[in-house]
Homo-oligomer: A and B are copies of this chain.
């Protein structure tokens, strides 16, 4: 079944989304349906010069802007690309949704159109680079106020996702806190700790901020407030270090050459930190599969996200999640 691509969202307009769909079809043979203004999309497809690819178009006349309030936008724009994309999934005409548009609207549309797995708080998972293997961080922004049971659910969902997506047979689960001992943490974390000990998961205990990038766990569990701050702090710090480094070694020729190389390494690092490069961030816990991409995603990131959406449908991720929860 094809992946429904919200083809009008994101900072770079429909072109990169069309291109992403073309790449996914050519490289991985993944089918997709571009959702958006039919005339614009047809023209973009034609101009690409590619023919015979398994890419469909579904017309939708409205777009939720990046800075629009999600709930209001969904109420007013009944024919928005993001809503129509989720309807395709609901009707059984698409397997999943990929969007680089307004992420709040993507979440809201998913919930309204597909609903959630019973009793579950959907969460956004993201894959971060570490010194060793990548790590899944969940939640990075869907839930700012969490109860212990929600942290527990994030752990269960992160476990399934790391197993299926990162191919870890028995993912090590860590709980983000301020000390390794079970007595360390805020009220929610301390209670979630006890639940995770009893969970049957491969729970390795609390992990501190210092451990996030070491790669000694496969899943890091936190509430969406903390996770979102950590994610953005990491991006910001990586950039700041590059700047500080530049200030530090400016003026010397050898240093400048070293700097050019360092910069290359940094760019690579930044790419790694940018979750879009890892194929977007899945919204887990809804009745369906949706991948949230960064607004600044380019075609390559969209291609990866389409592939991840297709892979997660193939393994029937939602059924696996439902069974685990």
Question: Which residues does A use to contact B, with CB under 8 Å?
Answer: 129-131, 141, 144-145, 176-178, 185-187, 189, 208-214, 223-226, 228-241, 243-245, 248-249, 252, 254-255, 257-262, 264-266, 268-269
CA gap between A178 and B103 in the complex, in Å: 13
Closest B residue to A225 by CB, please name it. B186
Closest B residue to A187 by CB, please name it. B145
CB distance from A235 to the nearest CB of B (A): 6
CB distance from A11 to the nearest CB of B (A): 16
Determine whether the beta carbon of A229 is less than 8 Å from that of B230: yes
Which secondary structure characterizes the binding site on chain A?
helix
CB distance from A58 to the nearest CB of B (A): 31
The winner among A144, A214, A266 for most chain B CB atoms within 10 A is A144
CA gap between A278 and B9 in the complex, in Å: 45
CA gap between A298 and B292 in the complex, in Å: 46
CA gap between A239 and B237 in the complex, in Å: 12
CA gap between A235 and B210 in the complex, in Å: 6
The winner among A208, A252, A261 for most chain B CB atoms within 10 A is A261
A225: B residues at CB distance < 8 A: 177-178, 185-186, 189, 226
Instruction: List, sorted by A's number, 13 A–B pairs whose CB atoms are closer than 8 Å.
Output: A141-B178, A144-B186, A145-B186, A145-B187, A209-B230, A209-B234, A213-B237, A226-B226, A237-B237, A241-B266, A244-B265, A245-B269, A254-B254
CA gap between A201 and B25 in the complex, in Å: 56
CA gap between A260 and B187 in the complex, in Å: 44
* Contact pick for A229, options B209, B213, B238, B259, CB 8 Å: B209
The winner among A178, A229, A261, A269 for most chain B CB atoms within 10 A is A229
